[in-house]
A and B are shown apart, each in its own frame.
Chain A
Amino acid sequence: MRVQRMFLPAVLLIWSIVVFIPFYLVVTMSLKSPIDLQLSPLSWPSSLQFANYWKAWTQANLGHSFMNSILITATSVILIVILSSMAAYPLARRTEKWSAMLYVYFLAGIMVPFQLAMIPLYKLLKALHLIGEYAGAIMIYSAMGISFAVFLYVSFFKTVPREIEESAQIDGCGPFRLFWVILFPLIKPISSTVVIINSLFIWNDFFIPMLFLQNKAMRNVPLSLFTFTSEYSNNWMLIFAAVVIGSLPLILLFILLQKHFIQGIASGAVKG
């Protein structure tokens, strides 16, 4: 009995440490001097080298890629929210056969691995002159995000009572005003889930920028980090300083929104 009662707390304790060590390593490494590297990797830096951060910021050109990341992430996420919520509304409300078929059409996208679309996308973007353009990556992220967002919005719209719409219509409210003024504020919980999940993926992604935004001026934060590390392959202090800088925006966002974040993942996954 005692063994049973100790088992779960022991697992929690061990996993807390397993999560802690790499974070401790990143932060202390990013503050070390080259001489400190000779010491044990877990030792505290003998003097705190905040200059590493400044070097990483300037040499990895992070200011510029921050702007790119913000632009790409924000535009894609806004598009996903607007397009998916609008599309989900008729899909949730119409009972005709076409609506069910279209719904399945959108859902099928969840199953598809990106690798299957990757090579034709390369050719398509080349033909549309969208390689090395923000718009190319934004369109790909939007297309990838729509499926899951439509799925979440449709299930949520179905829980919104029709009476709200009917009474608005009687008051002479047109469909666009009805959607934006009345319904859109109601679906905020799902919108925050969609925003968080997609921001997380798009901000951290380096694969799509690597294929389609190679141009130095267009790089996002992870891709800058990637190219930076091949130039400074053994300068771990600078690499980890850049890792910290690149991760901070999402960590801050997460701390602000963690309640929504956790609820969002939970409701998105289990209610489906």
Chain B
Amino acid sequence: MKRIGFDGVFLMPAFIIFTLFLVFPVISSFYYSMTDWNGLDSTMEFIGLDNFQRMFQDKAVWSGLKNTFIIALLVTVFQNVIGLLLALGLQGTGRINRVMRVWFLFPALLSPLAIGYIWSYMYNPLFGVINSILEFIGLSDWTQDWLGDKKLAIYSVIFANIWQWVAFSMIIYVAGLQSIPRDMYEASNIDGAGALSRFKHITFPLIAPAFTVNMVVTMIVGLKLFDILFVMTNGGPGGATENLALMLYRQAFGMNQMGYANAIAILMFVIILIFSLIQVTLLRRREVEY
């Protein structure tokens, strides 16, 4: 009896704050998604699934969905490919390796807001750095309006986001690589395996746990990307970079459509849930014990 009392004292504060400020809002979001609440009036009417019906007929939602998927796919692929390459180059414990890892992590320390400003300036068509560099190395034909071009803008923002976070993936891969027993490599050396086949048959299977974590995390981050889009393009030009996260923010706080915005939030949540479950199931199957 006494033990339960102490457990309660230890658990209660966290339980109350977590329940009141996260669980309760999350659960009530399902209710709000079925109302016409506008955020200003204290009254709201229950309208069933009307918001969801409206959502699926809304062309903007479909294009936002498409952008959401493009961003998530490219962030997942490139952040993992670059992150893994950097980790392979810097997995050693020597001083240079450690210094370089710290250097690569610097972008991750900046506020996404700062990243937004920096890269807006990098991409500026008139006096931006990227076009200047291209001109300097004689590739004037490649200069672009990186954020103003409807086709390019989304990729420009995705690159800025990868620039910021790729070192996080790198660190997780480094940890995975360092946990591989050295004798595995020695054995493969004796067998005369080349670098590529060693990567394919030893390294890649054995970093599977790090791979799972990285894939799932980068995908979720990609699916709900907000800050950097908000600062760099705010959905433009002409909706070319508008994703679900931006759309629901605008619906909620720009157009006072809280109920409708919550329906979009639920769509986002369902997508994240389904894709994470698929990824975890597929990737866990690949993990091996050693």
Contacts of A150 in B (CB 8 A): 14
Instruction: Map CB proximity to B onto A3-43 as digits: 1 under 8 Å, 0 otherwise.
Output: 01000110110011011011101100100000001001110
Residue of B nearest to A21 (CB): B129
Residue count of chain B within 8 Å CB distance of chain A: 88
Q: Are A87 and B11 interface neighbours, CB within 8 A?
A: yes
What is the CA–CA distance of A255 and B220 in the complex, to the nearest angstrom? 28
Partner of B172, one of A114, A122, A270: A270
A218 in the interface, Cβ–Cβ < 8 Å? no
- The smallest C-beta distance from B218 to any residue of chain A, in angstroms, reads 12
Given the complex of chains A and B, what is the CA–CA distance between A189 and B3 in angstroms? 28
Is B24 interfacial (CB-CB < 8 Å)? yes
Contacts of B276 in A (CB 8 A): 111
**Which residues of A from 71 to 87 have beta carbons under 8 Å from B?**
79, 82-84, 86-87
> What's the Cα separation between A204 and B115 when bound, in Å?
11
Tell which of B54-62, B71-79, B139-147, B173-181 binds the partner. Answer: B173-181
Nearest Cβ in chain B — how far from A85, in angstroms? Answer: 9
Which residues does chain A contribute within 8 Å of B90, judged by CB atoms? 12
- Asked whether any CB of chain B lies closer than 8 Å to the CB of A246, the reply is yes
Segment at the interface with A among B106-114, B150-158, B183-191:
B106-114
Give the docked Cα–Cα distance between A243 and B112 (Å).
11
Looking across the interface, which residue of chain A has its beta carbon closest to that of B163? A18
CB-based contact B14/A146 at 8 Å: yes
Give the Cβ gap from A76 to chain B, nearest Cβ, in Å: 11
Tell me how far the C-beta of B87 lies from the nearest C-beta in chain A, rounded to whole angstroms: 10
- B-side interface mostly: helix
Is the pair A109, B22 in contact by a Cβ cutoff of 8 Å? yes
- Which chain B residues lie closer than 8 Å to A51 at the CB level? none
Give Cα A265–Cα B217 distance, bound, in whole angstroms.
13
Q: Which residues of B contact A70 (CB under 8 A)?
A: none
How far does the Cβ of A16 sit from chain B's closest Cβ, in whole Å? 7
Question: Does the CB pair A115–B224 fall under 8 Å?
Answer: yes
Most-contacted residue by chain B among A18, A91, A143 (CB, 10 A): A143
Q: A87-B15, A226-B231, A243-B118 are in contact. List 9 more A-B contacts (CB 8 A).
A: A8-B88, A83-B17, A94-B7, A109-B23, A119-B32, A123-B37, A246-B111, A255-B102, A270-B213
Question: Could you list which residues of chain A lie within 8 angstroms of chain B, going by C-beta atoms?
Answer: 4, 8-9, 11-12, 15-16, 18-19, 21-23, 25-26, 29, 37, 40-42, 79, 82-84, 86-87, 89-91, 94, 102, 105-106, 108-109, 111-124, 139-140, 142-144, 146-147, 150, 175, 179, 200, 203-207, 211, 221-222, 225-226, 229, 236, 239-240, 243, 246-247, 250-251, 254-255, 258, 261-262, 265-267, 269-270, 272
User: Which residues of chain B have a CB within 8 Å of any CB of chain A?
Assistant: 6-7, 10-11, 13-15, 17-18, 20-26, 28-29, 32, 37, 39, 82, 85-86, 88-90, 100-114, 117-119, 121-122, 127-129, 132-133, 163, 166, 168, 171-172, 174-176, 179, 195-196, 209-210, 213-214, 217, 220, 224, 226-227, 231, 245, 248-249, 252-253, 258, 261-262, 265-266, 268-269, 272-273, 276
